[in-house]
Amino acid sequence: MIRKVIVLLAFFLASIPVAAFASYTVNSPEFKEVTGQLYMDGHSEHELSTCKVRKIYNSEVLEMLNEGMQPDEIISHYTDVLGPAALKAPDNGINGLFAWLMPVAGTAAGGVIAVVAIRRMTAAKKQRVNVHDSVGTLPDGDFASFEEAFENERKKYF
């Protein structure tokens, strides 16, 4: 009789799905893995007790985990829906590399543009100074600049 009870109990326990016992909580490592990677629309660093957006994200992640989704599947779901902005840091693929290098390339391009513009302005200023220094009367008595002609006329009459 005891042997029949043990066999029936073993059969009953084996027939219950294991997933029914796996209930994820906020403290489970899978949950922390997923939420540690999500940006949560800028609310990932907010206090959980006061941030409604973070509570919604956390409840969605817990629901997905309890439905049987793996952490990688949840991350890919959010990146499919929200794009790469769903993650705190870009992925390591070609798109992630592009996202990491764009700010560096933009800063470098801005620096090059600034250097070229400053060099052109200083070169134009030097040319203007050199033109005024070398101005004199032309061979036929005309003056090369209005300022010089005005100054000569002022000297004649004053």
Residue ranges covered by each domain of the chain = 2-89, 94-158
Contact between residue 81 and residue 68 where contact means Cβ atoms under 8 Å apart? no
Give 57-90 pLDDT, tens digit per residue. Answer: 888 999 999 988 999 999 888 888 887 778 877 6
Give 24-62 pLDDT, tens digit per residue. Answer: 888 888 888 888 888 877 776 777 667 888 888 888 999
Q: What is the pTM of this model?
A: 0.48
